[in-house]
Amino acid sequence: MNDERLYTVDDETASELARDLGGSGAGVVLVVVLDGFVDAGNAGDLVAEHLLDELSHKRLVTFDVDSLVDHRSRRPVATFESNAFTGYTPHEIAIDLVRGADGVPFLLLHGLEPDYRWERFTTSLLELVRRFDVTTTVTLHGIPMAVPHSRPTSVTTTATRSDLVTENQSWFGTVRIPAGYPVLLERRLGENGRDAMTLAVHVPHYLSQSRYVPAAVTLLERLQQATGLVLGVAALAEPAAEALDEVARKVEESADVAALVSALEQQYDAFTANQDRENLLAGAAPLPSGDEIAAEFEQFLSQQGPEQ
């Protein structure tokens, strides 16, 4: 580890990327999926899993997690068997060189959101963006929303340039929220003249704690549209359909949950029919809160027996 840097680079993989680009000036896309702040439905995490499971990849950059992560607040996982510890899974923050289904390379930054040294970490990323000729950085995650699973999945997009946002409904007015690290990264990239965008998929609030595959599919589709990458989305089609069928079945089994979801459907339909509203809740009839819906749905699911 270089004392002045938070990372090491695998020179062999870096050389491979340089050969691929071959001075063409095409550059590469950097996809960012960091776990730690908010990722409703595990949407971003599912995307990262899919990319690493379905596509070939090699480690390019390894970050110094001891300098970036609070291990006492987010403890690594150990495996205990009988009378001994047989495994320990360390935290990681890394960039992999990944090849799309068509062989086109891109970079994937994945692992934990840093607890410490956000600005130094950003400085490191800016160095790597310049070194590896990154053209666009795209961050992915899920956010909980008062939307029903039975309607098309929507996405909120932010970007360093307005023309990078080609399709976006205004679901919010002006709000102040705690910032995750990707907010800082997007701003610093923009200040340095680099293109960056964030795709935040809307996950039904009552499913935000689950692994909601349809949200991951939407993120992958929007990522393909924004970058031209080919990411093997078809592999998730069946799991996504099964997830929707399972949620629909659970809803049908509970009149209370069905009523709550129906209320969300009415709100969603009213909003999409009147898109000049300032936000999703403007002018809406009184509805149960997202917390009430989630609590009702979780209580219902907890009362269900194991699958036969």
d(CA 299, CA 63): 41
- Kindly tell me if the per-residue pLDDT of 273 is higher than 90: no
Asked whether residue 305 carries a pLDDT value surpassing 60, the answer given is no
C-alpha span between 298 and 209 (Å, rounded): 10
Rounded Cα gap, residues 90 and 69, in angstroms: 11
pLDDT in tens, 188-236: 999 999 999 999 999 999 899 999 999 999 999 999 999 999 999 999 9
Q: Which two tokens stand for residue 274?
A: 């009147």
Out of 7-11, 42-46, 168-172, 212-216, least confident range = 168-172
CATH 3.40.50.10900 fits 7-232, yes or no: yes
For residues 232 and 55, the answer to whether their CB atoms sit within 8 Å is yes
Instruction: Write down the pLDDT at residue 299.
Output: 53
SS3 123: helix
Residue 249 reports pLDDT greater than 80: yes
163's enclosing H/E stretch is none
Give 275's pLDDT tier (boundaries 50, 70, 90).
Answer: low
pLDDT recorded at residue 114: 97
Question: Residue 120 contacts by C-beta under 8 Å, 6 or more apart in sequence?
Answer: 6
Q: Per-residue pLDDT for 241 more than 60?
A: yes
Task: List the strands of the sheet with 7-9, edge to edge.
Answer: 7-9, 57-63, 93-99, 105-112, 28-35, 134-145, 195-204, 155-159
44: three-class secondary structure by DSSP: helix
Q: What are phi and psi of 221, to 5 degrees?
A: -65, -45
Cα 214 from Cα 243, distance rounded (Å): 7
* Predicted confidence (pLDDT) per residue in 4-28, tens digit: 689 999 999 999 999 998 867 789 9
- What integer best gives the mean pLDDT of the chain? 87
Lowest-pLDDT range of 85-94, 170-179, 216-225: 170-179
Count CB-CB contacts under 10 A for residue 286.
5
DSSP state of 277: S
Q: Tens of pLDDT along 276-296?
A: 554 554 444 444 455 555 555
Beta bridge partners, 196, equal 137
pTM above 0.75, yes or no: yes
What local confidence, expressed as pLDDT, does residue 177 receive? 80
Q: Where are the domains of the chain?
A: 7-232, 241-302
pLDDT of 300: 46
Residue-level pLDDT at 282: 41
pLDDT for 285 equals 43
Percent of the chain with pLDDT over 70: 85
How large is the average pLDDT for residues 47-62?
A: 98
